């Protein structure tokens, strides 16, 4: 019912780790129900629910598939949006170096939050939650409240990019871009 949407209009994409999320089940269920109501009430033109797991390894074989490429493209889009709007990408996405002594392997993984909400207008990302910086944090529930009110969360408080700072827009050198934006973190 909500999957085949055009890019035009005001729509959202809800990213979840699982359809059976364990401890976050109630939150996920409440968010999906509220988004469905926002669509039915005409506040949104549509929604997509996407399961993307708990993370992705950018250099894995899975990342080179169509589904993996989509996820990496969205990660790049979300990082660029966060930087362009003065938010810290690490507030919703985190790259970690994973070392397995049993398998004698090291790799980078991008970890995803339990739930992430991306808001689009005519195909352009206009807001992402959760997001934040050193002084504030905007949760998915805050974002839902703003959608119901017809506003952007903290619309007046969203800082502009620093002078001379350009957002990352491509997926080439994703690991380097993640390090540069502060997304990459320590070892797990």
DSSP readout, 58-102? TTSTGGGSHHHHHHHHHHHHHHHHHHHTT--GGGT-EEEEEEETT
Long-range Cβ contacts of 173-178 (<8 Å, 24+ apart): 174/58, 174/72, 174/75, 174/76, 175/58, 175/95, 175/108, 177/76, 177/79, 178/79, 178/89, 178/95, 178/110
User: Reduced to 3 states, what is the DSSP secondary structure of residue 171?
Assistant: coil
User: Reduced to 3 states, what is the DSSP secondary structure of residue 3?
Assistant: coil
pLDDT, position 95: 86
Q: 114 with 27: CB under 8 angstroms? A: yes
> Quick one: 22 exposed, middle or buried, by C-beta within 10 A (0-12, 13-18, 19+)?
exposed
pLDDT, position 8: 80
pLDDT, position 6: 57
pLDDT, position 116: 95
pLDDT, position 90: 73
Tens-of-pLDDT digits for all 188 residues of the chain?
334 455 789 999 999 999 877 878 889 999 999 999 999 999 999 999 999 999 999 989 999 999 999 999 999 999 999 889 888 877 778 888 888 888 788 888 999 999 999 999 999 999 999 988 877 888 999 999 999 988 777 533 444 443 333 433 333 344 455 545 455 544 44
Please state, in angstroms and rounded to a whole number, the distance separating the CA atoms of residues 168 and 54.
Answer: 23
pLDDT, position 186: 42
pTM: 0.78
């Amino acid at each position: 019912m909500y999957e085949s949407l055009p890019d035009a209009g005001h729509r959202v994409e809800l990213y979840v780790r699982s359809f059976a999320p364990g401890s976050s089940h109630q939150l996920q269920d409440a968010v999906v129900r509220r988004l469905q109501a926002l669509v039915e009430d005409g506040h949104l033109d549509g929604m997509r629910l996407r399961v993307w797991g708990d993370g992705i390894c950018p250099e894995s074989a899975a990342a080179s598939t169509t589904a993996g490429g989509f996820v990496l493209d969205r990660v790049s889009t979300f990082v660029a949006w966060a930087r362009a709007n003065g938010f810290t990408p690490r507030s919703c996405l985190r790259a970690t170096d994973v070392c397995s002594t049993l398998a004698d392997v090291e790799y980078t993984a991008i970890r995803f939050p339990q739930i992430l909400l991306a808001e689009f207008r005519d195909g352009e990302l206009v807001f992402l939650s959760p997001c934040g910086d050193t002084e504030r944090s905007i949760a998915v529930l805050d974002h839902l409240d703003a959608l119901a009110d017809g506003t952007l969360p903290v619309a007046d408080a969203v800082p502009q990019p620093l002078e001379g700072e350009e957002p990352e827009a491509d997926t080439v050198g994703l690991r380097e871009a993640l390090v540069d934006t502060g997304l990459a973190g320590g070892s797990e």
